[in-house]
Amino acid sequence: MLDAVLSLTVLAAILLIIGAFFMWRRTGNLKNAVLMVLLAAVALVNVAIWTLPDASGSAPIEKVDRGAGE
């Protein structure tokens, strides 16, 4: 289930970046476009935090998949 959430987060970040570009080109509203890109960056950093392994070689998503009891 968490894999689907992370996948949707990446897709949303990509769409935010594309939407920010089109908003900037059509309306010239730079402030909102930059905020959309910033939101996409935060989402991608969160996905990276969940998926990249730490020094011991295990990613946080693996710990969630195994269950909290172990």
Is 60 exceeded by the pLDDT of residue 70?
no
Q: Is 22 left (phi over 0), alpha (psi -120 to 50) or beta?
A: alpha
Six-digit token pair at 25?
A: 């080109």
Q: Are 16 and 36 in contact (CB under 8 A)?
A: yes
The whole-model pTM stands at 0.82
What are the φ and ψ backbone dihedral angles of 55, each rounded to 5 degrees?
-65, -30
Task: Please give the C-alpha separations between residue 22 and each of 2, 30, 42, 55, in angstroms, as whole numbers.
Answer: 30, 11, 20, 40
Q: Are 59 and 51 in contact (CB under 8 A)?
A: yes
Q: pLDDT digit string (tens) for 11-65?
A: 999 999 999 999 999 999 999 999 999 999 999 999 999 999 888 888 888 877 6
